[in-house]
Amino acid sequence: MATNTNNNSFYHALSHSPVRAAGNKPDLSIYRPQGEPEYGVFHYQAMIEGLLQVGGPHSTETVWSNNFEIAWTKMGDKGPLVLFLHGVPTNRSQWEEVQGSLSRFCETISIDMLGMGESSKPRCYGRKQDPAANNCWNWQNDVDYIEKLMQQEYPGRSFIFVADDWGSGIASHYAAKHNDRLDALIQLDPVAFDGYPVNEIQAIGRASEIPNTPEGDAQYAMLFAAFDQTLVQILKSMVYDPAKYNQYNLRYLTTTYVDVDYERNGNSDGVTDVAKSTTMRLKLHNIRVLSDRAAILSPALLLPHHPQHNPNGVNYQNITVPTLIMWGEFDNMMPAAQTQRFANVLGTDDVQITYIPRAGHFPATDNPEGVADTIINFIRRIMGRQALADIYVGNDGIWKGDERSMIQTLRTLHRITN
């Protein structure tokens, strides 16, 4: 009898008459509103120091410090907790569109990793005593501030870790060390195993060998005089459709390394501070930090752990949470065939592999709707329908026109309240 009652209820839920013509565009206003962005920083006291720039983006004044800031954006106030971590050479704005979509159904936070975006950028990190060493940028060291940040902002709560590119290297180390803190692991076009480094980033890392002296800085500035162009070309090679990036939305990604027009024109008198090619300078301190980070990366850091042969590798067998591996169908930087390796080395059999259509190395930029849809459906599968903050009936495709009535009925049936 209960089964018949449920069937009757679901029949009515899916049998509303359309209130508008079929075939209209999806009306996403049927869902809970997107979360309003909230911005802030986590104050992180590291065990090691680096040189922080003071006095503006082009100052030569620096101080040794281990007091760093990790910048974050929060969106959403209900549902599973989701952390987003970006790749290189980007920042957390890379996740903005997907994070906004998920904030209807989940509580979300995105962060800038140390050394990028609006987070602190320590140069010569951990090299105060030994200028020759550069191993403090190992991905496994990023695990510390991520764990402390999440414990401070969300004490005791488990979460879903979503990361791509460089961020996924950090996420792998985090999941192997703190598997009990996670509900799931989600990786997009991850750097993994022996698929790294790649030439575009390797060339930036090689420049870290230039001495950290005034003479070395001058040499570095000459070699990187066209870095703004190089950066744009790297970014455009990471998407399937280069038109996804233009001079407007690229500002969010390039401002870490290059002056953009609103920085030059903010207090302009129209004569001396106007933005033009010769005044929008490179932020060389930040670029040198990027070089330091890129220099240390090697396949050994992401190949499986071995006590003698690879002590800094990843203990993949420790990762037993459900895992989603997504890859852009047309990634021309790191081939999608690498996905199958995860299914055979993780400590869980629940490994879902999904290829994102019409996407390159940055699927969240190329196809944010497809990425958001895949993540939401994965969370619903592993955590249940009632875990989400709202009923999800998709964000694309042909809608019948009765979704506003249907979702209200389904909310009642699944006891989901807004």
Task: Output the pLDDT for position 269.
Answer: 62
Question: Is residue 124 included in any domain, yes or no?
Answer: yes
Query: Which residues have a Cβ under 8 Å from the Cβ of 52 and sit 6 or more positions away?
Result: 62, 63, 64, 65, 68, 120, 121, 122, 123
Question: Is residue 54 included in any domain, yes or no?
Answer: yes
Helix (H, G, I), strand (E, B) or coil at 45: strand
Give the pLDDT confidence of 48-65 residue by residue, as tens digits: 999 999 998 888 899 999
What is the rounded distance in angstroms from the CA atom of residue 93 to the CA atom of residue 117? 9
Query: Which residues have a Cβ under 8 Å from the Cβ of 217 and sit 6 or more positions away?
Result: 60, 284, 288
What is the total count of domains within the chain? 1
Give me the helix-helix angle, 227-237 and 199-206, nearest 10°.
150
Task: Output the pLDDT for position 376.
Answer: 98
pLDDT range class, residue 18, cuts 50, 70, 90 = confident
Token reading at 367: 């196809």
> What's the mean pLDDT in 14-38?
84
Q: Which residues pair with 53 in a beta bridge?
A: 62
Looking up tokens 């180390």 gives: 173
Asked if residue 1 has pLDDT above 50, the reply is no
Asked if residue 361 has pLDDT above 90, the reply is yes
> What's the mean pLDDT in 8-22?
79
Question: Is residue 279 included in any domain, yes or no?
Answer: no
Asked if residue 22 has pLDDT above 60, the reply is no
Q: Please tell me the total number of residues recorded for the chain in this structure.
A: 418
Domain region containing 312: 28-201+302-413
**Residue type (1 letter), 108:** T
Question: Is residue 69 included in any domain, yes or no?
Answer: yes
Question: Is residue 102 included in any domain, yes or no?
Answer: yes
Of 19-33, 276-290, 356-370, least confident by mean pLDDT is 19-33
Query: Which ranges constitute the DSSP H helices of 255-283?
Result: 261-265
Question: Is residue 295 included in any domain, yes or no?
Answer: no
Asked if residue 249 has pLDDT above 50, the reply is yes
Question: Is residue 226 included in any domain, yes or no?
Answer: no
Q: Residue 332 sits in a domain of what CATH number?
A: 3.40.50.1820
> What's the mean pLDDT in 306-321?
95
Task: Output the pLDDT for position 229.
Answer: 93
Question: Is residue 172 included in any domain, yes or no?
Answer: yes
Work out the mean pLDDT of the chain and round it to a whole number. Answer: 92
